[in-house]
Structures are given as structure tokens and as C-alpha cells.
Amino acid sequence: MKLADRVFFGGPIRTMDPSKPTVEAVAVRGGRIVAVGSKMDVERFCGVGTEKTDLKGSAMLPGFVEAHSHPMSSGILWGDPVVDIRAVHEPSFSAVVAKMRRRVAKAEPDEIILFLGLDPQLHEGMEEPSRELLDDIAPNNAILVGTSNTHGMYINTKALAAFGIDADYVPPPDGNVFKAADGLPWKFEETAAWQVMDHFFEICGEERKKRSFEEWIQKFVRAGYTTTSEIGINPGNARMLQAAVKSRPNLLRIIGYESSRGDEITVPLNFGDDDFRMIGVKLWADGSVLLGNVWTTKPYLNNKMTLKGMGLPENSTGHANYSEDKLHELVLKYASEGWQVAIHAHGDRAIDMVLNVYEKVIDKVGPDKVSGPLRIEHCGMMREDQIDRAIRLNVVCSYFLPYIHHWGEAIRDYLLGEERAARFVPSGSATRKGMRVSYHCDSPMTWPNALICLNVAVNRSTMKGAILGPEQRVSMEDALKAITIDAAYHLRMDDKIGSIAVGKYADFVVLGQDPVACEPGRILQIQILGTVVGGTDTEEAVRTASDPSQDRAD
């Protein structure tokens, strides 16, 4: 019997393995788990060179897994020189305008400035910024103003000129553009907004991307994650992301999905390894609830926020980004080639369309040949019958629970009304019906925070203390599955991560207390003490990577 490199003991260890839900100790060798059980059982694997880690009462669980996120996109979008105008910093629209004027006053000639975080739901007195207002703020500089959900962008006249956009501009697939009275584009949505941002970040250069990516990796690590996804990689960028992951000791496993642009995928299936692997394709059936472009059967509420702040027509039911025939064409193509498919869909009409497409593709390709599980992302307005249908098709849902935490009152009072808000992101119903759900924070829209996901799942409480849909609550045990083993299942990694079991990677999170024993009202106060990836503390990996004697790419 080969001896262990390291053993863990001395605190509650929750495995997420139903055959051994809690154990006393875990042994690790070569980055893998070799023994799980009582302390006496595990001590048989100890020798002179075995490192013994006493948890000293802290709890150890499988490392948190986020099935839907964008660490590299987050790094690209946030940080200098982007100007952060989120409501957490500037609570009113007038304060946003004042901050924009102050920044423009310091601008260099011909400098292009991106302001990010405009929020119709949280910025008091918000009105859509007209191009006249943006030109008044910045008559001599190009400025871009992005929404907090990153699905919308407003630009001024100088920006049109800087990016060569005129009245004949045609948005890319899945994108929309709205023109002002003079016929020139003014407001961009979805891929059209992202195209404009891509132009801006090309100007910022590659070194900024690498630096910001490292900063965001640290945010995930500090939040207790050991695996995440990059779900929606721009075509051609997978190799760059792989190089960034491989440039230093791995702190965070990343599973990649390429953003569909209707073209061929730019890397082979399963490109990479367990540190970074490409397995799927991402499509967007509709947009953002907060932007007003999700496709619903029942309209948005009519009020100042929706009509003025968001610029919606009365009784708006949003729209889809594809026809059902076109979405079917794309999904059939990717599924037939062996790619896993994940589709963003918030509105119930969009979810109906996605389920229709998935059912047709399963019938055509065959249930045993589809690279499942097929996924639906966010699922804000999912109905009970749609959950039932998804389960019959073996389709899984990744729910964006921090919507409730950050925007719950706005969703209830101004966007959808009390009944739909109570059922918004109905992960509890899906869990009770037997679906293996996952939860996500969807950075860069919200920062990675597994505790917020757990708190919403268990309490359905907002940041301000309101309770939305208590019937959607689940137990802490079920909530933990959604950010460990079931999230790993979404990423097709549940045979390697997501639970503490012999043969799996030694990926752990250490917490100040056992979440199952925590009072529901104190979940957000749980301390995240550190993570372990492949048997190595990520803090140690950071120190190694920071050693100037190490040959690495900065």
C-alpha cells in the first residue's frame, strides 16, 4: 500500500457522497483521494513523510463548483480603466451622471471611456440616457455606458465615429440595435453590445486581460470555489484562456463553452485537460430580465421604471433572439457533433422554445447519443409544467439565485409583480421534483459568492430582508448539492469532482463552521478559510507562483 502525501482530520467533513455523508478523515496522494473514513482507517495510510492537517474544528466539504460563470470575461470587463458606476457606489442616476462628468473632465484628448454598471432597478431616478445627454457629458470624447447585467450599451456620437458605426450598421447574430431620431444607432443589446465592448478592450491590450484574469481567479478562490465554467468564450479565445490557466499552479479548474456565432467551433471537442477543458456550446434564446428583453407570456408591469428607466413599450412581452427553426438548426448541428449545449433562457416563452428544440434534437440524434445533460441557464420565469417537461427530457437547469438577493424587491414591485416574483428562479420546485439543479452567481453580473446562493436557496431572502416565495426554500443539504456534486454533473465532471470519494480529485473548501449546523439566518456569516485543489492549498500555490525564481507568464 502506498502512503498518503497528506491527511485531513479534526473537524466535520461532509463528503456529498450518500454512501458516506460524513467522515472523520481523508487521505490524499498525488492530488487524488485515496481513503475516506474514520481517523483509524485513514491512519493506515500515514507514514513519516505524510503531512497531517488538523482542521481544528473547521468544516471541510468538496470545493464549491459554479456551473455558470465567466471569470475571464469578468476580468476583461471590470477594473481599470473601466469606470464602475454600479448603484452600490452611486445610488442615483444623477450621481452616475455627475461621476461621468467628473471622469470626462480629466480625460485625455481622444480617450475612449467605458462606464459600466448602469442599473434601471437600483439607480434612483433612472432614465435611459439619450445620445443628446451623452454628447452633453462628453462632447469631445467617445464614451460607452454599459448596464450592470452587461446585456445593454449606450454610446455617444464620438463613439460612433471611433468605432466606424453608421446608419447602415448591422448587428451580429443574437444582437439588437435601436436607432435615435436621426437614424444613427444609439442603444445596443446582447451580442451587439458585446461587440462594441470587444472593440474597447482590444484597445486596452492583452497584458491587461492577463492581469485582470488573475485578479478574478482570486475572487473565486476566496469565495470557496475550486471549479467554475467560462460559459460563452468568444470564438478563437479558448487557447488563450488555456495558456492563462497553465501559466501558474492551478488554483481553479475551468470548464469552457464556446459562444455560438453560427460558425464552426474553433477548438476540437474536449480540447484541454482537467485544469481547463472545452466541452460545450452556449446560445442565448433571450436576454436579461433587468433589461426587459426576455420573452414572456405575461407582460412586464407598466410603471416609471419599466417605461422610462428601461425604455420598454407598454405591456411588453420582450422577444426571442432566434426563431425556433434557427435555434433547432444550431442545436442539432452542435449536438450531432458531440458538444454539450447550454442555452440562456429567462422568459417562459423562451423556455418553451428551448424545450421544443431539445425534444426534437433528442428524437433526431437519439437520447443515448446526445452529449448530456442538455442545459437551460438562469430559468427566471420557468413554470411548473416546464420543470416537469425538462425532467422528462433529462434537461437540467442552472438557476441564477442572486437575482433574488440583489434585485428581489425591484422584480416584485416594478417588473413582474408579487405572484411571478414568488416563483422567480424556482429552484425549490425543481429540486423537489427530482432535477439535479445548480446555482450560480453569473459573474461579471454579480461577484462569485457561494454563500449568497446558499442563503437564497434556504431562506429566499433579499439583501434588504424581504422574503420572496418561501415555498421555494430547500434544506441546506439540498442546497449544498447544487454547488458541489450536482453542479459538477452539469459540467460533466461529477466522476472527478463534487464529492469527497476515493479516486476523485482532492479539491476541498474549508469553512469556519458546518453549513448544515448553521442557523439559517447566519449563513452569510460563515467564514471561508481556504481551498485545496489537487491536494495543495491554493494559498501555497499563490506563494509558489509569486516566487520570482519560478518560470511563468505574468
Kindly indicate the confidence band of residue 247, based on its pLDDT and cuts at 50, 70 and 90. confident
| Nearest by Cα to 14 from 454, 445, 516, 537 | 516
Are both 450 and 491 inside the same structural domain?
A: yes
- pLDDT tens for residues 32-73? 999 999 999 999 999 999 999 999 999 999 999 999 999 998
**To the nearest whole percent, how much of the chain has pLDDT over 70?**
97
- Under DSSP, the state recorded for 313 is P
Beta bridge partners of 505: 32
Specify the higher pLDDT residue, 203 or 139.
Answer: 139
Give the model confidence (pLDDT) of 166-177 as tens digits.
Answer: 999 999 887 899
Residue 192 sits in the same domain as residue 212: no
In this prediction, residue 548 has a pLDDT band, given cuts at 50, 70 and 90, of very low
How many CB atoms within 10 Å of residue 525? 12
H-type alpha helices, 71-172: 71-77, 93-105, 131-137, 157-162
Q: Give the residue from 502, 511, 505 showing the smallest Cα distance to 531.
A: 511
Comparing C-alpha atoms, which of 554, 482, 524 is closest to residue 223? 524
Whether the pLDDT of residue 491 is over 50: the answer is: yes
Task: Specify whether 261 is located in the same domain as 169.
Answer: no
Which residue from 326, 324, 303, 298 is spatially nearest to 314, judged by alpha carbons? Answer: 303
Same domain membership, residue 180 and residue 120:
yes
| Residue 75 lies inside a defined structural domain of this protein | yes
Averaged pLDDT for residues 326-330: 96
Residues 246, 180 share a domain:
no
Residue 464 burial (10 A CB sphere; 0-12, 13-18, 19+): exposed
Confidence band, pLDDT 50/70/90 cuts, at residue 304? very high
| 4 half-sphere exposure, CB direction, 13 A CA radius | 26
- For residue 546, is pLDDT > 60? no
The answer to the question of residue 544 being in a domain is no
Left (φ > 0), alpha (ψ -120 to 50) or beta: where does 338 sit?
left
Residues 200 and 299 in one domain: no
Instruction: Identify the bridge partners of residue 185 per DSSP, sorted by sequence position.
Output: 179
- Worst-scoring range by mean pLDDT, 23-27, 163-167, 296-300? 163-167
In contact, 473 and 457? CB cutoff 8 Å: yes
Residue matched to cell numbers 471549479: 227
d(CA 14, CA 484): 11
Dihedral, 142, 147, 151, 152 alpha carbons, nearest 10: -50
> Residue 223 — very low, low, confident or very high, per pLDDT cuts 50/70/90?
very high
pLDDT of 327 higher than 60: yes
How does pLDDT run across 160-207, given as a tens digit for each residue?
999 999 999 999 887 899 999 899 999 999 989 989 998 898 888 777
Quickly list H helices, 106-169: 131-137, 157-162
Residues 414 and 317 in one domain: yes
Note whether residue 272 is domain-resident.
yes
- Bridge partners (DSSP) listed for residue 378: 345, 399
Same domain, 82 and 97: yes
361: in domain: yes
Cα–Cα nearest to 441, from 456, 429, 423: 456
Is the per-residue pLDDT at 316 higher than 90? yes
Provide mean pLDDT across the span 212-221: 92
Is residue 498 classed as helix, strand or coil in its secondary structure? Answer: coil
**For residue 407, pLDDT beyond 60:** yes
Question: Where residue 106 sits, what CATH number does that domain have?
Answer: 3.10.310.70
Question: Do 199 and 303 fall into the same domain?
Answer: no
Question: What average pLDDT does range 91-116 have in this prediction?
Answer: 95
Residues 240 and 342 in one domain: yes
Cell 429567462 belongs to residue: 346
- Same domain as 185, residue 232: no
Q: Which pLDDT band, with edges at 50, 70 and 90, does 111 fall under?
A: very high
What would the DSSP string read from start to end of 414-450? IIS-HHHHHTSS-HHHHHHTT---EE--TTTTS---H
Mean pLDDT for the stretch of residues 525-533: 97
End residue of a domain, out of 480, 498, 516? 498
The residue that leads in pLDDT, 552 or 472, is 472
Strands 225-233 and 64-66: parallel
Among residues 184, 204, 224, the one where a domain terminates is 204
More confident position, 143 or 110: 143
Q: In what order do the strands lie in the sheet with 64-66?
A: 64-66, 225-233, 253-259, 276-284, 340-345, 375-378, 396-399, 438-439
Q: Where are the beta strands (DSSP E) in 123-224?
A: 142-147, 152-155, 175-179, 185-190
For residue 414, give the amino acid letter. Answer: Y
Kind of pairing, strands 152-155 and 185-190?
Answer: antiparallel
Q: Which is higher by pLDDT, 210 or 536?
A: 536
**Cα R_g (the chain), whole angstroms:** 24
Can you point out the beta strands (E) in 388-543?
396-399, 438-439, 508-511, 528-533, 536-537
* Contacts of 341 by beta carbon, 8 Å cutoff, 6+ apart: 280, 281, 283, 331, 334, 335, 371, 374, 375
Range of the domain at 366: 208-498
- Position 332 confidence tier, pLDDT thresholds 50, 70, 90: very high
| Residue 537 to residue 508: CA distance in whole angstroms | 9
Residue 23 included in any domain: no
Are 165 and 213 members of one domain? no
pLDDT tens-digit readout, 352-397: 999 999 999 999 999 999 998 999 999 999 999 999 999 999 999 9
Residues 540, 544, 547, 551, Cα dihedral to 10°: -170
The residue out of 450, 469, 498 marking a domain boundary is: 498
pLDDT cut 90: percent of the chain above it: 86
Predicted confidence (pLDDT) at residue 542 exceeds the cutoff of 70: no
Does residue 443 register a pLDDT over 90? yes
Instruction: Evaluate if residue 456 carries a pLDDT over 50.
Output: yes
> Is residue 531 domain-resident?
no
Q: What is the pLDDT of residue 540?
A: 63
| d(C-alpha 83, C-alpha 444), whole Å | 14
Q: Which of 293, 258, 253 is nearest to 278 (CA)?
A: 258
Distance CA 474, CA 459 (A): 8
Residue 167 is assigned to a structural domain of this protein: yes
Average pLDDT of 402-410?
97
pLDDT at 272 over 90: yes
| Mean pLDDT, all residues of the chain | 93
Residue 6 belongs to some domain of the structure: no
Total of domains in the chain = 2
Q: How confident is the model at residue 541 (pLDDT cuts 50, 70, 90)?
A: low
CATH number for the domain including 359?
3.20.20.140
Mean pLDDT for 535-540 is: 87
pLDDT in tens, 44-54: 999 999 999 99
pLDDT at 550 > cutoff 50: no
